[in-house]
Amino acid sequence: MGDRDRERDRQILQHQQLQQQQQHQQQQHQGGQKGGMQLAKAATAVTAGGSFMILSGLTLVGTVIALTLATPLLVLFSPVLVPAGIALMVLLGGFLASGGFGVAAVTTLAWMYKYVKGSHPVGADQLDHARMKLASKAREMKEFGQHQLTGSGERHSS
């Protein structure tokens, strides 16, 4: 029985060693794939970043060159360009204000149409509440005025 136990222990030990070797090989294989993926990501990032840096530099150089060439023209034509720019800004502001007021008017008319039609637009409750408060105050003021007139007329007649 001792030989059988030793043989069985040796087989178990060999099986465990074989499993450990297989796991180690799988981990090395997966590590190699992860390293390759990281290398590809890094290469892509460097390529994209470098391209954007080059484009940024070219844009800066082009802007400086254009400004250098345009400066004498801007100095020569500034008596014409400054008033033209001011006029353009005033026109643009006028058109934007006009468009904004037009949109506000159309929105208000659409709201009023919905309110009159009875479809209860947003804010209709607040408007009704304000209308009732205003009517109540108007009645109070009318009664107060009538009371004052009748009260002051009695004083003058005595």
- pLDDT tens profile 37-91: 788 888 888 888 888 899 999 999 999 999 899 888 888 888 888 899 999 999 9
Q: Quick check: is 55 in a domain?
A: yes
Q: Quick check: is 52 in a domain?
A: yes
Q: Quick check: is 151 in a domain?
A: no
Q: Quick check: is 144 in a domain?
A: no
Residue pair 114/121 in contact by the 8 Å Cβ criterion: yes
Residue 140 has pLDDT above 60, yes or no: yes
Q: Quick check: is 99 in a domain?
A: yes
Return all residues near 69 (Cβ < 8 A) that are at least 6 apart. Answer: none
DSSP the chain: -HHHHHHHHHHHHHHHHHHHHHHHHHHHHHHHHHHHHHHHHHHHHHHHHHHHHHHHHHHHHHHHHHHHHHHHHHHHHHHHHHHHHHHHHHHHHHHHHHHHHHHHHHHHHHHHHHHHHT---TTHHHHHHHHHHHHHHHHHHHHHHHHHHHHHHHHHH-
Find the domain containing 108 and state its range: 2-122
Q: Quick check: is 129 in a domain?
A: no
Q: Quick check: is 140 in a domain?
A: no
Q: Quick check: is 133 in a domain?
A: no
For 76, the token pair is 């020569």
Number of structural domains (the chain) is 1
What's residue 158's pLDDT?
47
Prediction pTM value: 0.41
What is the average pLDDT score of the chain? Answer: 85
Measure CA of the first residue to CA of the last residue in the chain; give whole Å: 142
Q: How far apart are CA 5 and CA 39, in angstroms?
A: 51
Lowest mean pLDDT among 14-23, 74-83, 108-117, 149-158: 149-158
Residue 36 has pLDDT above 90, yes or no: no
For 157, the token pair is 């007649």
